[in-house]
Amino acid sequence: MPGLKDAECGPDWGLLRAHDLWALPVEVLTGVMEVGVVELELPQGSSAYPFRKAGGRWIAVQSGLPPVERDRLVRVLLFSYLAEAVDSGMRTSRFRAMDIRALYAGSQWEPMNGWRDDEEVIASLRSFVGEPLGGVAEDIPESAYPLPEEVGAAIAFGYDEAGRRCPLAWVDSRLPAGLRADLWGFNAALIAAGDASENRADAEGILYIGRRRHPVRGPGPALLAALTVQRFGRRPQDCDFLLLSPPTQNGD
């Protein structure tokens, strides 16, 4: 997984990431990953499984499944293929050359104002937290340091003087721009999730968010985070971040 350097030589437009498996059409994904799909009468209790045969990789899916379920099973198994490629260091050589931007062209997840630099995306995401999400977006204040090394962001769920919900979101400004952009996207996604995220806050109403990236494993806040970041113009990296236990005082 990328660390604090954020793989910061700029985005790799030819690199497929986990969130793409849940956003792009299945037929596009299987073409890019060179995986065939076949419907078969499978043994009872089995809905899908991967297999190899001469000439490539295949996914067998139980025949007669509803299209939505069929596609979900294919995406799950494509995730396992992608994870295997990442672990073996073969991702760039296994999948044929492509431009991810072209795969999203004309879709609902194409950047609304074109591809932009990270600082522009951060500014837009912070504005998005303010309006329409009704929150406040700030850098983590100096008075909060030292923080535990793993903390990258935080959200406090509070209310203004009129009793309106007013989440406060912070990101560590010392982190690389690309990582900050993805953390701002994750903050926005958690705020948009409403009660589902607020119910996971600590006794003080705060969510502490890690800075280490994890692959998006399916629909949920992490996928929303990645796609929100992309809509604002950044090619996101792995965009799932752990929710942490409250840090002890002074980070000890």
Q: pLDDT tens for residues 205-250?
A: 889 999 999 999 999 999 999 999 999 999 999 999 999 988 765 5
**Mean pLDDT confidence for 80-100:** 73
**Mean pLDDT confidence for 107-134:** 96
Q: Is the dihedral of CA 63, 65, 69, 70 positive or negative?
A: positive
pLDDT tens-digit readout, 155-198: 998 888 888 889 999 999 999 999 999 999 999 999 998 777 77
> What phi and psi, each to the nearest 5 degrees, are found at residue 76?
-60, -45
DSSP-derived letter for residue 152 is E
What size, in residues, is the chain?
A: 252
- Cβ-count burial 44-57 (b if 16+ within 10 Å, e if not): eeeebeeeeeeeeb
DSSP-derived letter for residue 161 is T
pLDDT beyond 70 at 93: no
pTM recorded for the entire structure: 0.88
3-state SS assignment for residue 34: coil
Place of tokens 């793989």: 7
